[in-house]
Chains A and B, each alone.
Chain A
Amino acid sequence: MPPALLAARRPEPDFPEAGALPDPAGRSLLRFITCGSVDDGKSTLLGRLLWETGAVYEDQADALARDSERFGTDGKNRDYALLVDGLSAEREQGITIDVAYRYFATPRRAFIAADTPGHEQYTRNMATGASTADAAILLVDARKGVLPQTRRHSSIVSLVGVKDVILAINKMDLVGFDEAVFRRIESEYRALAARLGFRSIHALPLVARDGDTLTRHSGRMPWYGGPTLLDLLETLEPALPVDGRFYLPVQWVNRPNADFRGFSGTVASGQIRVGDPVTILPQGRASRIAEILTPEGARDAARGGDAVTVTLADETDVARGDVITVGHRPAHTSGTLTARLLVLGERVLAPGDRLLAKLGMATVPVRFETLAHELSVEDLSPQPARHLAMNGIGKAILRPEAPLFALPYDECKILGSFLLIDPTTHATLAMGIIEAVSSRSREASPQRSEDAHPRRARLQPSLRPERIRSAITTLLFAVAGFLLTGTLAGALILAALDGIGRPLLISLQERFWPVEKKPALSGAPEPGLDGGGI
Chain B
Amino acid sequence: MHQTSHLRRLEAESIFIFREVFATCDKPVLLYSIGKDSAVLLHLALKAFAPGRLPFPVLHIDTGWKFREMIAFRDETARRLGLDLIVHTNPEGLAAGIGPLTHGSAVHTDVMKTQALKQALDQHGFDAAFGGARRDEEKSRAKERIFSLRTPDHRWDPRSQRPEPWLLFNTRKAQGESFRVFPLSNWTETDVWDYIALESIPVVPLYFAKPRPVVQRNGALIMRDDDRLTLLPDEVIETRMVRFRTLGCYPLTGAVESHAETLDAVLAEMRESRVSERQGRVIDHDSTSSMEKKKQEGYF
Contact = CB atoms under 8 A, between A and B. Distances in A.
A419 B275 contact: no
Contacts of B288: 63, 66-67, 70, 88, 91
A527 interface: no
Could you say which of A103, A307, A431 has the most chain B C-beta atoms within 10 Å of its C-beta?
A: A307
Interface in A148-189: 160
A252 B168 contact: no
A256 B53 contact: yes
A350 B9 CA distance: 39
Interface stretch (A124-132, A201-209, A270-278, A365-373): A124-132
Nearest to B291: A86
A189 to B, nearest CB: 25
Given A58-B274, A59-B276, A125-B163, A293 B50 contact: yes
A295 B47 contact: yes
Interface string A8-22: 000000011010011
A89 B159 contact: yes
Contact of A86 (B8, B138, B161): B138
Interface stretch (A92-100, A211-219, A499-507): A92-100
Given A97-B159, A252-B23, A256-B51, A22 B164 contact: no
A260 B52 contact: yes
B190 A24 contact: yes
Interface in A457-486: none
A100 B142 contact: yes
A98 B140 CA distance: 10
Interface in B4-29: 5-6, 8-9, 11-13, 15-16, 19-20, 22-23
Contact of A260 (B51, B163, B172): B51
Interface stretch (A72-80, A227-235, A410-418, A517-525): A410-418
B68 to A, nearest CB: 28
B95 to A, nearest CB: 34
B6 A98 contact: no
Contacts of A88: 288-289, 292-293
A86 B142 contact: yes
Contacts of A89: 158-159
A99 B12 contact: no
Contacts of B194: 24
A57 B275 contact: yes
A68 to B, nearest CB: 12
B142 A251 contact: no
A76 to B, nearest CB: 18
Contact of A307 (B11, B170, B174): B11
Q: How large, as a class, is the contact surface on chain A?
A: 35 or more
Contacts of B164: 128
Q: Which residue of B13, B19, B158 has the most chain A CB atoms within 10 A of its CB atom?
A: B19
A257 B139 contact: no
A23 interface: yes
Interface residues of B, number: 61
A67 B172 CA distance: 38
Contacts of A99: 143
A57 B137 CA distance: 12
B151 interface: no
Nearest to A342: B165
Interface in B49-84: 49-53, 55
B20 A87 contact: no
A257 B48 CA distance: 16
Interface string B125-148: 000000000011011111100000
A287 interface: no
A102 B142 contact: yes
Nearest to B177: A426
Given A86-B139, A98-B158, A251 B16 contact: yes
B168 A15 contact: no
Contact of B173 (A83, A306, A426): A426
A293 B143 contact: no
B16 A307 contact: yes
Interface in A418-437: 418-419, 421, 426-428, 431
A251 B23 contact: yes
A254 B52 contact: yes
B45 to A, nearest CB: 11
A264 interface: yes
B119 interface: no
B163 A431 contact: yes
Interface in B101-142: 135-136, 138-142
B5 A252 contact: no
B256 to A, nearest CB: 12
A429 B135 CA distance: 25
B6 A86 contact: no
Q: Which of B19, B52, B163 has the most CB of A within 10 A?
A: B163
Interface in A107-139: 112, 124-125, 127-128, 130-132
A83 to B, nearest CB: 8
Interface string B270-299: 000111100100000000110011000000
Given A15-B12, A84-B139, 18 more contacts: A16-B13, A21-B9, A22-B3, A57-B276, A59-B275, A83-B139, A103-B188, A127-B165, A131-B165, A132-B166, A132-B167, A251-B23, A356-B172, A358-B170, A413-B166, A421-B170, A431-B163, A431-B165
28 contacts: A15-B12, A15-B13, A15-B167, A21-B6, A22-B2, A57-B279, A59-B276, A86-B141, A87-B140, A87-B158, A88-B288, A88-B293, A97-B158, A101-B135, A103-B135, A112-B186, A127-B165, A256-B53, A256-B55, A295-B47, A307-B15, A309-B50, A320-B23, A361-B23, A421-B172, A426-B172, A431-B163, A431-B168
List the 5 closest A-B pairs by CB distance, nearest first.
Answer: A256-B52, A86-B139, A131-B165, A22-B2, A88-B289
